[in-house]
Structure 1
Amino acid sequence: MHSAASWTGTPAIKGSSEAMRMALLTVSLVGIQFTWGIEMTYCTPYLLELGLTKSMVSLVWIAGPLSGLIMQPIVGVLADKSRSKYGRRRPYMVGGTIVVSAALLVLGWTKEIVGVFISLPKGASKEAKEFQRGITIGVAVLSIYAVDFAINAVQASCRSLIVDTLPISKQQMGSAWASRMIAIGHLIGYAAGALDLRGIFGTMLGDTQFKQLTVISAIALCISIGITSYAITERVLVVNGKEEVPASEGISAVKEMLMQLLTTASNLPRRIQMICWVQFWCWIGWFPFLFYSTTWVGEIYLRYNAPVDARESKDTLGQIGRIGSMSLIVFSIVTFLGSVILPWVVRSPEDEKVEFTPRPPAGIAPILEQIEKYKPSLLTAWMVSHMIFACSMILAPFVTSLRSATATVAVCGIPWALACWAPFTFIGIEINKLNAPLTNSHYRHVSTASIESEPGVLRLHHSDDIPSSTSASTGELAGVYLGILNLYCTLPQFVGTFISWVVFSLLEPGKSPELAKEAHPDEHHSTEGPNAIAVCLFIGALAAVGAAYATNRLKHIP
């Protein structure tokens, strides 16, 4: 039997304008995406440099989907039940940020930390060196897992904070701002990775590019989370006047959430089920791109374009990271421009059932009306984006120059912009349909919050007078269905990991010839033959075709 819940305080956002308030609310995502960008850019070549094979590295990246599968729903439920006087989300954001920052520093200085506990004298045996190297790899892998699990907790809390703070009428704007901040975070992260930081900072932040990036990433995450935490005031949950939460209540809430997810997932409405299947096939394609594209571009450079002195450089990791980051900078610019421009040239689902109403001066209204007629629907644009991604990745095994590799990665910015936008739009519409009363109207526009403006502060008073006939609030339905959507984004990453492991085991079973030279100077493996990462990208293209087919089927489901 649930206790009666009530709230104290009202959500508030500092800022003198709506744009400033939205920026303060979502700026935390900049630091999160900066951290993701550094991990995806540098950690694969870093592990290869330590001496792991590509097949073993692919198994390490189970950390991504595993942490998302476990942490996001659990932290979401525990935060929902939190009665901290600081709010439900911010304590998890701050606590997770501290863990991420510490794990990043351990990751950057893994060799030095292990060296303190396992120091080898000069002339140590090969077995002793291999033992030290194995411990170093183990600490690095554990650090990556700590980063992944903690950053997922932070990300889940930041996303939930947006939902908690904004009224329904502002949710779409909040999602749009979140998408922009994600693109900005990626862009800043890749730009930092492309710079020669040792030339800028010397050895002040570390003696390698990777060490300096882990320090900058930790600082950026702390600052961005700190800004959002300072700018937002949350409501505080109170149950029967009590602020303490029994541990048993949190555990039972997690069990209840898991049962609800399983029950709902087995009885999904047809359109929501098809949206989830689109995401399933889509993410099989995106997984190898997001985790291996930087290494792929760097390897193309070292195999076909790099001068001899670059191939013999001791900081090969820094080279691959910088070269790969340059291509991802272009990718991020394309993504950002797409997230800004595409909403203007694509017809949103809400506009598909209403006639065009000319609001501008009568002189240009007819022109805009003609433009409106030729706008593609968001569903069509989403389907086309899958095909653009598929066509780009099909070419990956045939790329033999840095310029072509960069162009291939950059084109994918357009489908990525839609991948961050379209599924959440469609799932939100379907949730609203399910929440709407049984009337002739297809949609219902209801605001459960009133807005009160003060100089520099936005306060939102959420109404508690929800009709008892409603089976579940918008927030509850959204949490359940978004949790299921997250499952369909997470499970295919396990599939992608398995595919990558098989491909790497067959095509490149040895140590990386480009990156493991220092760790294993006596071993050398040929760079001839097909690039294993390119083959993984090609298989991802086939999955993207499946996503396009599922999107087309969604058009015909009423």
Structure 2
Amino acid sequence: MPAAAQWTGKPSVKGSTESIRMALLTASLIGLQFTWGVEMTYCTPYLLELGLTKSKISLVWIAGPLSGLIMQPIVGVIADRSKSRWGRRRPFMVGGTIAVSACLLVLGWTREIVKVFLTEETVREATIALAVLSIYGIDFAINAVQASCRGLIVDTLPIPKQQMGSSWASRMVAVGHLIGYGAGAMDLGKVFGPMLGDSQFKQLTAVAAITLCLTVGITSWATTERVLISDGKDEEGEIGAIDMLKTILKTATNLPTGIAAICFVQFWAWIGWFPFLFYSTTWVGEIYLRYDAPAEAKASGDLTGQVGRIGSLSLIAFSVITFLMSVMLPWFVKSPEEEAPGFTPRPPASIASFVIEVEKYKPSLLTMWTISHCIFAGSMIMAPFVTSLRSATIIVAVCGISWAISCWAPFTFLGVEINRLSGTSNHSYGQIGRSSMELESPVQLHLNHIEESHSSGGAGSGIYLGIMNLYTTLPQFVGTFISWTVFSILEPGKSPELAKEAHPDEHHSTDGPNGIAVCLFIGALSAGVAAVATRRLKRIQGY
């Protein structure tokens, strides 16, 4: 029987109130989501403007799932065994942030960098190649940061606080989206002048790099991790590359029932989310250029900036709704431990009868997750029939409800499952619920003084988070194949709305279905499967 892991210190977060501590713990997700937003909002129109076809761009976006498939599980395994005095997650957060920032700046100044080394005749092809390489660098490095940020939350919080931590993470993701899309909708040239570059895209990449460094720095400064002394496997020696892959494969093929069910839902949900996250901005911009834009707008020299700004306006609405839902819904939704056998809420006596009555009508988090899939499917199924910027904006905005829950529910369930498996307190699920309520009333449980018996510290949190990310990234390969097929059939040449030069294969017409809209429609069908799979989770684990 392997020896138990040995630790020193206790996890803690700076701050005078629980809200401040939660905000500091999850602040890194603001910069992380800002960076994802810049990439997803601007890189597709940027590559279209450089001259790539949509079908080729769909292959470029294999970078996302490929990097997630490789980086998150590997970083999770390595971090789980890390004995750094700075903790298991923060060194990877900081190192990955430096790499992401460097790649962002290279992406923004691709043309200038290429012109230093090459002649005018070869600049175009080299510019495209360096831009694609920079995108791959960003995706690989940012996945290391994301794995560490999520792992830090699971490691730091006790079981009763996992849902709160996930809901705060969802809020910070929404804030990152909101700031990113707000910046994208502004004319940054008027704000910063030439200081951060001479185009909207350059300035956004610079702002994203600064924001990511700042927010990751805040979380790293505010959080203290437990330090691993021994993981009980030291006698096996340092883990090699082959052993690491064997560990990941063995864990992935022998997942506990609850975690496997959560991962199955993620798989189908993300076939739908992939085209939305990567192409929705371009879709909204193309709808605008196709149906609503005046002639002078179509003749604009900065089509990338124009499409980015128009698309960002719709995604601002999406982000506002996401943020509002992530703040309000946790108050009206039962957490998993509230549904556990033996759980009894203990509100103050003065409002006890009211609170207990309200509790009867609160939907479960699982029910809300199911509803969120249905909302997303219902919205995306309308995409091929949209013929105005207003309708496109409404559809995108409504998806903010689904995104808020999708950033919250799976990580809540996974965090609970990981901590149940770790057995840190040797309590049953229902006993954990009762124990946590006794701590919270009358004595509040603080993040800067977590009792050892209730600390999550899940020794395998990194690998389980990494494996769930496999089920988030594998469907992106499916989504990439779907989008490549659709674009190859419907729009084999450059985007007729965005391309500045003619292409032999281009149909030159904006008549007929928009390729991105068809991809969104297919994603809606996948979201319907995810809704059915979510209900299956209730039968499996009894949430």
User: Which residues in structure 2 correspond to 1:109-124 (within 5 Å)?
Assistant: 109-120=109-120
Q: Following the alignment from structure 2 to structure 1, what is the Cα–Cα distance between the partners of residues 365 and 516?
A: 31
Does the C-alpha gap of structure 1 residues 395 and 523 become closer, same or farther in structure 2, counting only changes over 3 Å?
A: closer
| 1:107 corresponds to | 107
Which residue of structure 2 aligns with residue 371 of structure 1? 358
Alpha-carbon contact 2:167-2:330 (below 8 Å) kept: no
Superposition pairs for residues 168-183 of structure 1, below 5 Å?
Answer: 168-183=159-174
Q: Which residue of 2 aligns with 1:159?
A: 150
> 1:226 is matched with which residue?
217
Counterpart contact for 2:151–2:465, Cα < 8 Å: no
Cα distance in 1 between the residues matched to 2:12 and 2:344:
35
1:368 Cα deviation (Å)?
4.1
Bigger shift: 403-412 or 4-13?
Answer: 4-13
Q: Which structure 2 residues correspond to residues 30-179 of structure 1 after superposition, within 5 A?
A: 30-120=30-120, 128=121, 131-179=122-170
| Correspondence for 1:492 among 447, 468, 475 | 475
Over 3 Å counting, the alpha-carbon distance change for 1:64 and 1:429 in structure 2 is: same
Shift of 1:384: 1.6
Shift, 1:331, TM fit: 0.5
Q: Secondary structure at the match of 1:203?
A: helix
Question: Could you tell me whether the CA contact under 8 Å between 1:288 and 1:537 is conserved in 2?
Answer: yes
Which secondary structure does the structure 2 equivalent of 1:88 belong to?
coil
Matched, 1:214 2:205: yes
Alpha-carbon distance in structure 1 between the residues aligned to 2:415 and 2:218:
28
For the 8 Å contact 2:82–2:88, the answer to whether it is kept is yes
Compared CA separation, residues 239 and 358, structure 1 to 2 (3 A): closer
Of 271, 283, 302, the residue aligned with 1:315 is 302
State the TM-score, normalizing by the size of structure 2.
0.89
* Aligned residues of 1:517 and 1:524 also touching (Cα < 8 A): no
Structure 2 equivalent of residue 23 of structure 1: 23
Residue type of the partner of 2:293?
A: A
Cα distance per residue 1:192-237 (max 9 Å; x no partner)? 1111111222222111100000010111111111222222333444
Look up the match of 1:526.
509
SS at match of 2:448: strand
Q: What are the superposed Cα offsets for residues 74-114 of structure 1, whole Å, 9 maximum, x if unpaired?
A: 11222233333333322222221111111101101111111
TM-score, structure 1 normalization: 0.87
Shift of 1:552: 2.4
Residue 402 (structure 1) aligned with residue 389 (structure 2): yes
1:317, distance to aligned residue in structure 2 (A)? 0.5
* Greater displacement, 139-148 / 350-359: 350-359
Whole-angstrom CA distance in 2 between matches of 1:33 and 1:7: 32
Equivalent residue in structure 1 for 2:492, among 501, 504, 509: 509
Alpha-carbon separation, structure 2, partners of 1:482 and 1:139: 31
- Judged with a 3 Å threshold, the aligned counterparts in structure 2 of structure 1 residues 369 and 312 are, in CA distance, closer, same or farther, namely same
The CA distance in 1 between the partners of 2:7 and 2:297, in whole Å, is 61
Cα distance between partner residues in 1 of 2:426 and 2:143: 39
**Aligned-partner residue type, residue 180 of structure 1:** R
Once residues 156 and 420 of structure 2 are traced to their aligned partners in structure 1, the CA distance between those partners, rounded to angstroms, is 22
Is contact 2:11-2:156 (8 Å) kept? Answer: yes
Q: Is the 8 A contact 1:38 1:217 kept in 2?
A: yes
Q: Which amino acid aligns with 1:73?
A: P
Cα RMSD between the aligned structures? 3.3
CA contact (8 A) 2:11 2:224 kept: yes
In the alignment, structure 1 segments of 5+ residues that lack a partner are 121-127, 467-472
Does the 8 A contact of 2:162 with 2:415 survive in 1? no
Q: Distance in 2 between matches of 1:48 and 1:433?
A: 48
Q: Do structure 1's residue 14 and structure 2's residue 1 form an aligned pair?
A: no
CA contact (8 A) 2:80 2:463 kept: no
Q: Deviations over 1:280-317 (max 9, x none)?
A: 11110111001000000000001011111100000110
Taking the aligned partners of 1:427 and 1:233, their CA distance within structure 2 comes to 23
1:138-182 residue CA offsets vs partner (Å, 9 max, x unmatched): 100000000011111111122222233334444333322222111
Match of 2:367 among 380, 398, 405: 380
Aligned pairs for 1:183-332 within 5 A: 183-238=174-229, 250-252=238-240, 255-332=242-319
CA 1:457–1:270 in 2, change beyond 3 Å: closer, same or farther? closer
Partners of 2:492 and 2:505 within 8 A in 1: no
- CA deviation vs aligned residue, 1:239-269 (integer Å, no higher than 9, x gap): 59xxxx99x95542x5444333433433444
Tell me the residue number matched to 1:469.
none
Q: Deviations over 1:407-455 (max 9, x none)?
A: 00000011111111222223334445545599995544289xx99x9xx
| Distance in structure 2 (CA, Å) of the matches to 1:440 and 1:369 | 25
- Cα 1:149–1:444 change in 2 (3 A) is farther
What is the rounded CA distance, in whole Å, between the counterparts of 1:439 and 1:222 in structure 2? Answer: 39
Give the Cα–Cα distance (whole angstroms) in 1 for the partners of residues 155 and 79 of structure 2.
11
Alpha-carbon distance in 1 for matches of 2:29, 2:137: 19
Alignment of 1:417 onto 2:404: yes
Q: Secondary structure at the match of 1:376?
A: coil
Moved more, 87-96 or 98-107: 87-96
Range 523-532 or range 273-282, more displaced: 523-532
Q: Secondary structure at 2:499's aligned position in 1?
A: coil
Tell me the alpha carbon deviations over residues 370-393 of structure 1, each in whole angstroms, 9 at most, x when there is no partner.
433232222222112111111100
Candidates 338, 358, 375, aligned match of 1:351: 338
Separation (CA, whole Å) in 2 of partners of 1:554 and 1:12? 33
Amino acid at match of 2:162: Q
What SS does the aligned partner of 2:360 have?
Answer: helix
d(CA) in 2 for partners of 1:170 and 1:554? 21
Residues 506, 141 of structure 1: alpha-carbon distance in 2 compared, 3 angstrom cutoff:
same
Partner amino acid, structure 2, of 1:163: V
Counterpart of 1:106 in structure 2: which amino acid?
V
Relative distance call for 1:459 and 1:553 in structure 2 (3 A) is closer
| Percent identity between the two aligned chains | 68
Q: 2: CA distance between counterparts of 1:435 and 1:11?
A: 16
Answer yes or no: is 1:458 the counterpart of 2:448: yes
- List gaps (5 residues or longer) in structure 2: none
| Distance in 1, Cα, partners of 2:502 & 2:133 | 20
Distance 1:415 1:4 in 2: 40
Change beyond 3 A, Cα 1:397–1:376: same
Q: Distance in 2 between matches of 1:22 and 1:296?
A: 35
The whole-number CA distance in structure 2 between the counterparts of 1:550 and 1:194 is 37
1:367: Cα distance to partner?
4.6
Instruction: Please tell me whether the aligned partners of residues 322 and 403 of structure 2 are also in contact (alpha carbons under 8 angstroms).
Output: yes
- Does structure 1 retain, via aligned residues, the 8 Å contact 2:271–2:523? yes
The structure whose Rg is larger is 1
Are the aligned partners of 1:334 and 1:413 in contact in 2 as well (CA < 8 Å)?
yes
With over 3 angstroms needed to count, the CA separation of the structure-2 counterparts of 1:414 and 1:239, relative to structure 1, is closer
Count of matched residue positions in the alignment of Structure 1 and Structure 2: 530
Would the aligned equivalents of 2:373 and 2:531 in 1 still touch at CA under 8 Å? yes
SS of match in other structure, 2:459: helix
Contact 1:433 1:444 in 2 (8 A): no
Contact kept? 2:383, 2:517, Cα under 8 Å = yes
The aligned residue for residue 530 of structure 2 is 547
